[in-house]
Amino acid sequence: VNPQRQITSFFSKT
């Protein structure tokens, strides 16, 4: 099973 990345690792909080 390929581990899933999260959106928050690409886009940061404003």
Taking the complex as a whole, how short is the minimal distance between the CB of residue 8 and other proteins, in angstroms?
5
CA dihedral 4, 12, 10, 7 (to 10 degrees): 30
Rounded to an integer, what distance in angstroms lies between the CA atom of residue 8 and that of residue 6? 5
Rounded to an integer, what distance in angstroms lies between the CA atom of residue 5 and that of residue 3? 7
**Residues within window 1-14 making contact with other proteins, judged by CB under 8 A:** 2-14
Taking the complex as a whole, how short is the minimal distance between the CB of residue 9 and other proteins, in angstroms?
7
Binding residues for other proteins, total number by CB under 8 A? 13
The residues binding other proteins (CB under 8 A) are 2-14
